[in-house]
Amino acid sequence: MTAPLIDPFARAITYLRVSVTDRCDFRCVYCMSENMTFLPKKELLTLEELDRMCSTFVGLGVRKLRITGGEPLVRRDIMTFFNGMTRHLESGALDELTLTTNGSQLERFADQLYAAGVRRVNVSLDTLDETKFADITRWGRLKQVLRGIDAAQKAGLRIKINAVALKGFNEEELPTITQWCAERDMDLTWIEVMPMGDIGNEDRLGQYWSLKDVRAEYENHYAVSDLAERSGGPARYVRLEETRQKIGFITPLSHNFCESCNRVRLTCTGELYMCLGQEDMADLRQPLRDHPNTEAPLQDAIRAAISHKPKGHDFDYSRQTLDGQMPRHMSHTGG
């Protein structure tokens, strides 16, 4: 039962992204509708179940855990879970424990996260304009997020900024955000907006700003060099020679990045999605709860799920329609 997880395309699955809640204290216009209906709490895995689930994946060869949401730090007593995962870092079974956050709770939790073994944090931040930030997050407070980033860096956490590229919204801010990250020694990754869930009256196609155009904009201002760095994930990296910054591009729509995919996603209800852009999933909550005293049925269910991991996703804006749109929200699957 200790054999590594290998999918049908000979890719080793070593990276698990875990959504610990579908709830968030923001309502970003590309992610959620303003009046979201969240899952009943009874459907969510308990913190103890999340620990057991993740520990089982670690036992099967997962080396990296990224905790997501929703906003993971709004889940009550979430540090209990992080502190539980510390044992896998200390044993050497886990290489990295990290999270993606909107930054709203970092001021409160930065020191505790560092103490639990977290060393890197991705912060989702699309604009440095306070008014625009309030508009795009609907409920967000930019100053609170910036204080959180300050606290995280002071605690010793390495910060990477994830910015969703949004046409007509943050195009003009590219030089500003880039320079701000350079001054603070933070990496920056741009992400194409993805067709996930019903977001009300927002226009997906109107939001879409191709990262081919983002790169071209960089080339208008900087000497841009491709980097060979690969993490098995979706990002492709370049270096800006003038600032020596690493800039990432996650391009699910203008470039398929699936050939080296090493990850799967676990939702807060125990559904395992083998691909962000496919609807195939496996229910791991049932074997987890049906067999509280043995891990074998859960291990078998995980292996069966990995045996169905698809070659790639189906996101497609090429025909100016929402082909490939996923009906579930990003906050449910995990950002």
Feature table: binding site for [4Fe-4S] cluster: 24, 28, 31, 258, 261, 275
Rounded to 10 deg, the angle between the 142-155 and 106-115 helix axes is 20
The answer to whether position 312 is within a domain reads yes
Rounded to 10 deg, the angle between the 106-115 and 78-91 helix axes is 30
273: left (phi over 0), alpha (psi -120 to 50) or beta: beta
Predicted TM-score (pTM) of the model is 0.88
In a structure prediction context, what are the per-residue pLDDT tens digits for the chain, which is 335 residues long?
567 899 999 999 999 999 999 999 988 888 877 778 888 888 999 999 999 999 999 999 999 999 999 999 999 999 999 999 999 999 999 999 999 999 999 999 999 999 999 999 999 999 999 999 999 999 889 999 999 999 999 999 999 999 999 989 999 999 999 999 999 999 999 998 865 444 444 454 467 888 999 999 999 999 999 998 876 567 889 999 999 999 999 886 555 557 778 899 999 999 999 986 677 899 999 999 999 999 999 999 999 999 999 887 655 444 344 444 444 445 555 55
Q: Which residues on adjacent β-strands are paired with residue 98?
A: 66
The answer to whether position 257 is within a domain reads yes
The structure tokens listed for 250 are 């996650």
The answer to whether position 237 is within a domain reads yes
The answer to whether position 1 is within a domain reads no
The answer to whether position 329 is within a domain reads yes
Q: CA of 64: how far to CAs of 57, 169, 232, in Å?
A: 10, 33, 12
**Structural domains of the chain, count:** 1
The answer to whether position 311 is within a domain reads yes
Feature table: binding site: 17, 24, 28, 30-31, 66, 70, 100, 124, 160, 194, 258, 261, 263-265, 275
The structure tokens listed for 283 are 């229910």
Feature table: binding site for S-adenosyl-L-methionine: 30, 70, 124, 194
Query: Which of 61, 45, 18, 4 lies closest to 272, judged by CA?
Result: 18
CATH label of the domain that carries residue 184: 3.20.20.70
The answer to whether position 7 is within a domain reads no
The answer to whether position 9 is within a domain reads no
Full domain range(s) for residue 62: 15-333
Feature table: binding site for GTP: 17, 66, 100, 160, 263-265
